[in-house]
Amino acid sequence: MREPLAGVTEVEGTETRRPKAYLLRDLVVALALLPVFSCVVRGDVTPWPWGVTQLTHNEYSDGEAQIHNGQIAWSSRLGQDMADQEICFWDGSSISRITTNSYIDYLPRTHNGHLTWVGWAGTGSDEVEIFHWYDGTTTRLTNNSLYDYRPRVYDGQVAWVGSDGNDQEIYLWDYATEKTTKITDDTVSDYWPEIWNGQVTWSTAYGRIYLWESGTTTMVNENYYDSGWTPRIHNGQITWWGGGAGNDEIFYWDGSQCSRITSNYWFNDRDPEIHNGQIVWHMYDGNDWEIFFWNGTWTGTQPNITQVTDNTWDDQYPQICDGQVVWHAKWARPGVKRDVHYWDGSTVYRVTDSTLGGMYPRIWNGQVVWYGSDGNDTEIFYATYGQGPADLTLNPYDITVLLGEEVSFTATATNIDSPTFRWDWEGDGVWDTDWASANEAGHPYSEIGIYYPAVQARDPASNTWTAEGRVEVTPELGTWVLLASGSALGAVLRRRRKK
């Protein structure tokens, strides 16, 4: 540890307390170890300047959205009171319903196309099982009358917590070998497993944090004052929240030593997430919850921490990827229960701009997914940082052509995923073609007049965009001469009749 935590006497299986003689020293140490704060962002937020896509359009309640590698998994409640809940998956081009069973399927996770989730047989049943799906095949990993819960997936490995009939233990299933390993087998309940590249971390009921890799288990924290819960792991580094001093702090293990990131002693720091050695969490400052970020560096023994938010509403449950952070803000706008916010390292953006808001966002490589209301139920939405709003344009937009001339049109789709197109040549509201991937098409106009052709683009989630143009069809030169001659002759005849 960077901060020495001596003077603690521990007895296995009992609660340990800090000797009174050390309380004053702890206060002095805390003041000396106050972190270096920088780049404090106040309550101002910037509206999201890029596009937001509604992924689902249905009459169900969609939620628990997760994202990895541009692929999104979520649960969809098909009945009232959780009568039926299924797992759905978007592979970047189309939506698939993964489960079609009588179970209540929930808590999905996804990684590189692998999915895992919990299936519950329903009210009154103790049958709570773990499932895995990959490339069209579903595998039931557990089959017992015990309680299996909280699966996590990395490539083809799934870790979860389950009862062995005595207490809670940690299990690991491998897709390549189709074998299940019981990682823990002790008399203490183990909880909150997380997995990264074959490494599994978890915490015990007594706040001990462990790391398992290739059959070897290591205790990460060593004493009462760095005990904690809900560890997170990435690239072999672990973070968690806890501590035994009456408030909660953030801790970090770099693979060899343990460090305490926060030392405020007055406020609760909780729910950290880690990616590439950088950590984000929320802290209750006595008034509301705010977002904090540690960039993984130190000034001497002091961590360089950025306070991302400082406002009058609750900012909670941040997620991080490559130094970019998302979270939801509660009641940041009047009448809006929650909004999705995004921090790119310098600017806080409000991603959701409607009165419907959004909650529990997840992030991967600048892509954000969340669930929010469409006015009727909850749907899945996503957005991409730096990617402008989706748009569709038609070229030529305004043109004059001769009778019988074919007009060649080009539809340009900007920031629309895998678009297909259909055409309405006259603008009469009737689509003249089926959907096709080609964005170029031609049509001859055989009657004189003005037309308003339209093209519509559709993405795999059935979102549509429409663009219109104007075509004026004029007679050919010979027709003009004939019409002009006919008009002149008609005028002469009319004059002769008048005489």
Q: How many CB atoms lie within 10 A of CB 313?
A: 18
User: Average of pLDDT values for 265-279?
Assistant: 93
Nearest CA to 51 out of 451, 416, 490, 399 is that of: 416
- CA–CA distance, 314 with 294 (Å, rounded to integer): 20
pLDDT band, residue 452 (cuts 50/70/90):
very high
Return the bridge partners of 406, or none: 444
- Residue 3: pLDDT over 50: no
**pLDDT tens digits for range 145-167:** 888 999 999 999 999 999 999 99
∠ CA(224), CA(226), CA(229), 5° rounding? 100
- CA–CA distance, 471 with 269 (Å, rounded to integer): 63
Which H or E run includes 260?
Answer: strand 258-260
- Residue 396: pLDDT over 60: yes
Dihedral-angle region of residue 23 (phi above 0 means left; psi in -120 to 50 means alpha; beta otherwise): alpha
Helix (H, G, I), strand (E, B) or coil at 482: helix
Of 8-22, 94-108, 151-165, least confident by mean pLDDT is: 8-22
Q: DSSP assignment of 271-295, as one string?
A: EEEEETTEEEEEEE-SSSEEEEEEE
- Residue 371: pLDDT over 80: yes
Of 9-23, 92-106, 331-345, least confident by mean pLDDT is: 9-23
Q: DSSP assignment of 334-365, as one string?
A: TTEEEEEEEE-SS-EEE---STT--EEEEEET
Of 46-50, 398-402, 488-492, least confident by mean pLDDT is: 488-492
**pLDDT tens digits for range 471-488:** 999 997 554 444 444 444
User: Average of pLDDT values for 354-378?
Assistant: 92
Q: Which residue has the higher pLDDT, 495 or 322?
A: 322
pLDDT of residue 383: 92
Max mean pLDDT among 10-14, 200-204, 374-378 falls in 200-204
User: Average of pLDDT values for 64-73?
Assistant: 97
pLDDT of residue 200: 98
Dihedral-angle region of residue 112 (phi above 0 means left; psi in -120 to 50 means alpha; beta otherwise): left
Quick one: 123 exposed, middle or buried, by C-beta within 10 A (0-12, 13-18, 19+)? Answer: exposed
Strands 216-219 and 398-402: unpaired
Q: Which residue has the higher pLDDT, 390 or 64?
A: 64
Q: How many CA atoms lie within 13 A of 247 on its CB side?
A: 15
CA distances from 413 to 299, 386, 459, 468 (A): 48, 17, 10, 13
Query: DSSP label at 477?
Result: H
User: Average of pLDDT values for 179-184?
Assistant: 97
Q: Which domains does the chain have, with CATH numbers?
A: 20-384 (2.130.10.150), 391-477 (2.60.40.10)
**pLDDT tens digits for range 124-140:** 787 899 999 999 999 99
- Residue 80: pLDDT over 70: no
**pLDDT tens digits for range 277-311:** 999 999 999 999 999 999 999 999 999 999 999 99
Return the bridge partners of 468, or none: 454
pLDDT of residue 125: 80
Name the token pair of 60: 């169900």
CB 411 within 8 A of CB 439: yes
pLDDT of residue 247: 85
pLDDT of residue 92: 87
**pLDDT tens digits for range 306-349:** 999 999 999 999 999 999 999 999 988 888 889 999 999 999 99
CB 394 within 8 A of CB 408: no
pLDDT band, residue 36 (cuts 50/70/90):
low
pLDDT of residue 38: 57
Of 59-68, 97-106, 243-252, 317-326, least confident by mean pLDDT is: 243-252
pTM above 0.85?
no
pLDDT of residue 406: 95
User: Average of pLDDT values for 234-250?
Assistant: 89
Amino acid present at 100: T
pLDDT of residue 279: 98
